[in-house]
């Protein structure tokens, strides 16, 4: 039960972070969403053997975390939770691609290991940028920005409901886990069969509660449009923010800054 409650509070902490009043938080959600999309597209456009060229892109999430006063270790733990999925995607690359592409002193690295490292770096950058976006914007504002930018409204609303449904699911699971603990003695009631029954009842209870929540929203005038309290405004600050970061991403995509810096340092000292 304690783990379920901890997960509930931990998930809600992202909404708490999005309510801060910093320079990054005050930027229009549409500008931040568009910049994040450009960042992700630029990162994934690199070929599978690129590593050094991806390093400068860590500047974007680092600056956002710093200006937004976001907890780095909290976001890093979130990335580690989903990291096994990225590991499973590239873990077999070293077995398939065994051609030696890089030598570093006595060590040799095959194309499989290089592509695996590239996958992990791309995953860290993209997942990190999405977490930073949600932490400094809020999931409601992100869904609203999708709607305002031309995404199908049904997609944006369903995405918002999916996020809210997680809270309903965790709340109901916590109550059921508490009830099971109060009725379990001497290790009874903790078998797989009992948990299978609990999962079925959990689904039914969350669907029933979600329907009640939906009826309550309709009674309060919900018409399918996502609304937030703050007024949206695309001004000079948002335009400069999007253009500056986009220019930086494109520049890093065209030129391998890490390689150029390495050559400059080598010529300087040698």
pTM value > 0.75:
yes
Are 163 and 29 part of one and the same domain? no
| Token reading at 121 | 């770096």
* CA–CA dist 203, 106 (Å, integer): 57
121 and 72 within one domain: yes
- The span from the CA of 188 to the CA of 46, in Å, is 54
Is 9 inside a domain boundary? no
Nearest residue to 86 via CA among 43, 119, 40, 49: 119
Rounded distance, CA 46 to CA 259, Å? 15
Asked if 32 and 131 sit in the same domain, the reply is yes
Helix, strand or coil, per DSSP, at residue 108: strand
Is the per-residue pLDDT at 3 higher than 50? yes
Q: How many residues does the chain have?
A: 270
pLDDT of residue 100: 79
157 and 100, same domain (yes or no): no
Residue 162 pLDDT exceeds 90? no
What is the domain range of residue 60? 16-137+233-263
Pairwise pLDDT comparison (25 vs 201), residue with the higher score: 25
Specify whether 157 is located in the same domain as 74.
no
Counted domains in the chain? 2
Q: Is residue 142 part of a domain?
A: no
Residue-wise pLDDT tens digits, 239-267: 999 999 999 999 999 888 877 777 777 77
- 21 and 119: one domain? yes
For residue 7, is it within any domain?
no
- Tell me the three-class secondary structure of 228-267, residue by residue: CCCCCCCCHHHHHHHHHHHHHHHHHHHCCHHHHHHHHHHH
Structure-model confidence comparison of residues 4 and 107, the more confident one = 107
Q: Is residue 87 part of a domain?
A: yes
The mean pLDDT value for 16-28 works out to: 86
Evaluate whether residue 1 is within a structural domain. Answer: no
Q: Sign of the C-alpha dihedral, residues 88, 93, 95, 96?
A: positive
The reported pLDDT for the residue numbered 99 is: 80
> What whole-number distance in Å separates Cα of residue 29 and Cα of residue 190?
45
Does residue 258 lie within any of the structural domains? yes
Q: Are residues 213 and 251 in the same domain?
A: no
In this prediction, residues 32-49 reach a mean pLDDT of: 92
172 Rama sector, left if φ>0, alpha if ψ -120 to 50, beta otherwise = alpha
Q: How confident is the model at residue 11 (pLDDT cuts 50, 70, 90)?
A: low
Considering the domain architecture, whether residues 80 and 54 belong to the same structural domain is answered as yes
- Do 80 and 132 share a structural domain? yes
User: What's the pLDDT score for residue 152?
Assistant: 84
| Residue 2, domain member (yes or no) | no
Within 8 A by CB and 6+ apart from 211, the residues are: none
Percent of the chain at pLDDT exceeding 90 = 20
Q: Which candidate, 171, 177, 206, places its Cα nearest to that of 190?
A: 177
Residue-wise DSSP of 149-162: TT--HHHHHHHHHH
225 plus 244 within the same structural domain: no
**Which pLDDT score, from 0 to 100, does residue 186 have?**
64
Same domain, 132 and 40: yes
Same domain, yes or no: 90 and 203: no
């Amino acid at each position: 039960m304690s783990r379920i409650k901890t997960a509930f509070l931990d998930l809600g902490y992202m909404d708490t972070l999005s309510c801060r009043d910093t320079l990054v938080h005050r930027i229009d959600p549409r500008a931040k969403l568009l910049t994040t999309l450009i960042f992700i597209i630029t990162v994934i456009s690199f070929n599978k053997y690129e590593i050094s060229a991806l390093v400068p892109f860590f500047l974007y999430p680092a600056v956002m975390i710093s200006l937004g006063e976001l907890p780095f270790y909290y976001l890093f733990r979130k990335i580690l939770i989903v990291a096994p999925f990225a590991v499973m995607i590239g873990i077999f690359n070293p077995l398939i691609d065994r051609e030696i592409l890089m030598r570093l002193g006595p060590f040799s690295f095959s194309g499989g290991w290089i592509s695996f490292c590239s996958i992990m770096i791309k995953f860290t950058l993209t997942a990190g940028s999405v977490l930073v976006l949600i932490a400094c914007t809020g999931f409601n504002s992100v869904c609203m920005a999708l709607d305002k930018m031309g995404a199908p409204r049904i997609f944006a609303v369903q995405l918002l409901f999916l996020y809210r449904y997680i809270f309903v699911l965790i709340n109901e699971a916590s109550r059921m886990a508490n009830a099971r603990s109060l009725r379990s003695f001497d290790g009874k009631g903790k078998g797989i069969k009992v948990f299978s029954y609990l999962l079925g009842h959990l689904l039914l209870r969350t669907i029933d509660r979600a329907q009640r929540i939906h009826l309550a929203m309709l009674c309060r005038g919900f018409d399918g449009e996502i609304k937030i309290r703050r007024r949206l405004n695309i001004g000079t600050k948002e335009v400069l923010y999007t253009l500056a970061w986009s220019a930086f991403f494109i520049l890093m995509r065209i030129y391998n800054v890490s390689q150029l810096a390495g050559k400059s340092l080598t010529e300087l000292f040698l």
